[in-house]
Amino acid sequence: MRSVDRASGIPRRSAVATGTYYRARAKKFLEADGYVVADLEKMFRIVNPATPDRVLWTKRDQLGSDLLACNRSEILFVQVRGGKSARSGVAAALKKFASYPCPPSARQIVMMWLPRARQPEIVEVAKAGDLVPAMGETDEETEDREDNSPF
């Protein structure tokens, strides 16, 4: 049974429905801006050998992103946040993005849709040209590199 808002008596949306709504809104926004957009969320099936009749489905973001958007000049990895708690999830999104390298030709952004907002707030995590530490490299070694290649 769906939960109901006590003040208004209106049924609340589930977390999945809310996330789907804001992801679709972000996709529409990016497509209107000239990007081709792909969904990076993947569904995984989990089967317990003890009870093979019961199957659980779980969603996982690929590369820490909900959407991949590209046009002729750039590639965006987009994490979408929405609703009243959009800002509170930004720190988690930034931490998740930090675990993945960003190539020089791409940008990582967090797109926040606040309630009743016509435009999203966009936080840029990494942009083209940022130095990204190579595997096993320290921050000092990254700063010492003259070129922007992480390798």
Asked if 47 contacts 79 with a C-beta cutoff of 8 angstroms, the reply is: no
Q: Which domains does the chain have, with CATH numbers?
A: 15-144 (3.40.1350)
Whole-number percent of the chain with pLDDT over 70: 72
Q: What is the pLDDT of residue 22?
A: 84
- Structure confidence by residue, pLDDT tens digits, 44-78: 788 888 887 888 877 777 777 889 999 988 899 99
Pair of tokens at residue 130: 């940022």
Strands 36-39 and 41-48: unpaired
pTM of this structure: 0.68
